[in-house]
Amino acid sequence: MVKKRYYFTDEITGVVATGATTLNLKHEDIERGWEYHYQHIAVENDTSSGATARFGTYRGNSFIPAEEQSSMTVDTLYWIDDEITCTEEQKAGIYISGATAGDVIIARFRGYKIRMDTKSAEHEKEEMI
């Protein structure tokens, strides 16, 4: 059975706080029973050059990088080459470092989500016990 895909395209804008040089841009929380497939994650700094963007996943307060772009140029779009898949308790995101206070960072997330077969997953857990 083919699972129905629900497509999304989201944009998140963040501003680096006064006295800070880092920024976390996280996509939305993943609902229980869903899996998100990020086909395109992109970022740009609208204000200045020189920051580093790390693309990856957040699990709680931990960040697991998948790809990095250093020495970003102002008003230039950077993106990750690989698809990222996240389940509940994970979020796709971008960690920005080496930025300047007041930098406006724009992140774009595009992909699809599918509902997982929660009955099968629960049945597998019971068999393992």
pLDDT by residue for the chain (129 residues), tens only, comes to: 678 999 999 999 999 999 999 999 999 989 899 999 999 999 999 999 999 999 999 998 899 999 999 999 999 999 998 999 999 889 999 999 999 999 999 999 999 999 987 654 454 444 455
Thinking of the domain 6-128, which architecture would CATH place it in?
Sandwich (2.60)
- Using CA atoms, how far apart are residues 99 and 109, in angstroms rounded to an integer? 21
Q: Which residues contact 124 (CB under 8 A, 6 or more apart)?
A: none
- Using CA atoms, how far apart are residues 106 and 128, in angstroms rounded to an integer? 44
Q: What is the pLDDT of residue 125?
A: 47
What are the extents of the domains in the chain? 6-128
Q: What is the pLDDT of residue 2?
A: 72
| pTM for this prediction | 0.85
Q: What is the pLDDT of residue 47?
A: 94
